[in-house]
Structure 1
């Protein structure tokens, strides 16, 4: 069975609960998540009856959108599902008429930065001390404290 072929990516229905357990994998602050969910669209990756991944597409105004959150269940990471979600986010943004998509990630998110650059995203900004100023608790990734946010953009 090829897991990727069995995945369906779809908008989260209005009557479905918000998949916080997945959202919190990518953003450990429920307050930050609750700040960007209004006005956003949540898309979920589903395999059989189970939601295994998600992304949040947030309009920035004009013809730009941002992927605010993208996550895959921990045991399924590294199998191409994140790439599938990112490609779907780009396709969805293009279909909605956006001309660019941005995504922000921590300076220590080495695998994510590599994935985003593989998919045609380029670093367009560095928000210094973003994680120090916006999160009460320190966040560590790959043994390094998250400090700066890298903003990557892809023109559509």
Structure 2
């Protein structure tokens, strides 16, 4: 697998991005503001992540997605580690990520990659998403915010 920055003339892999975030409007917004990286195997896009600068020393990992047929093989973990190294290489001191209270495997993944829970934004998904999101039999209501110091 190779990971590279998406070229300016390339369109982000929307179908993959929508696996991790069902709001097309939000995905289009942060892909415009951030930098998209894609993972490829034999020229086929199988994964994606987006990082968006927040402040002069902080960047946010906004979306991590792997083709559903390849999930569970550790590829998402490789993308998260790649995003951390990219952020560090760009000189950021902190990387943040947010995920839903119902995103149990994502919460575990981020913590395994060194992120720690900072805060919870109650009713984030109720206020910002039109459709009800249910994962693992749990309604996604709250945004769990995690971060990692890069220095």
TM-score interval, normalised by the smaller of the two chains: over 0.9
In the alignment, what sits opposite 1:94? Answer: 88
In the alignment, what sits opposite 1:130? Answer: 124
For the pair 1:105 / 2:105, whether they are aligned, the reply is no
In the alignment, what sits opposite 2:70? Answer: 76
In the alignment, what sits opposite 2:38? Answer: 44
Q: Compute the displacement of 1:125 (Å).
A: 1.0
In the alignment, what sits opposite 2:22? Answer: 28
Deviation above 2 Å: which 4+ runs of structure 1? none
From 8, 13, 38, give the equivalent of 2:7.
Answer: 13
Q: Structure 1-normalised TM-score?
A: 0.94
Superposed CA deviations along residues 81-129 of structure 1, whole A, max 9, x for unmatched, are: 0000000000000000000100000001111111111111000010000
Provide the aligned length of Structure 1 versus Structure 2. 150
Superposed CA deviations along residues 20-78 of structure 1, whole A, max 9, x for unmatched, are: 00010000011111221222000000000100000000000120000011100111111
In the alignment, what sits opposite 1:4? Answer: none
Q: What runs of 5+ residues in structure 1 fail to find an aligned partner?
A: 1-6
In the alignment, what sits opposite 2:149? Answer: 155
* In structure 2, distance between residues paired with 1:136 and 1:108: 17
Q: What runs of 5+ residues in structure 2 fail to find an aligned partner?
A: none
* In structure 1, distance between residues paired with 2:91 and 2:74: 26
For the pair 1:67 / 2:61, whether they are aligned, the reply is yes
* In structure 2, distance between residues paired with 1:118 and 1:139: 25
* In structure 2, distance between residues paired with 1:97 and 1:84: 20
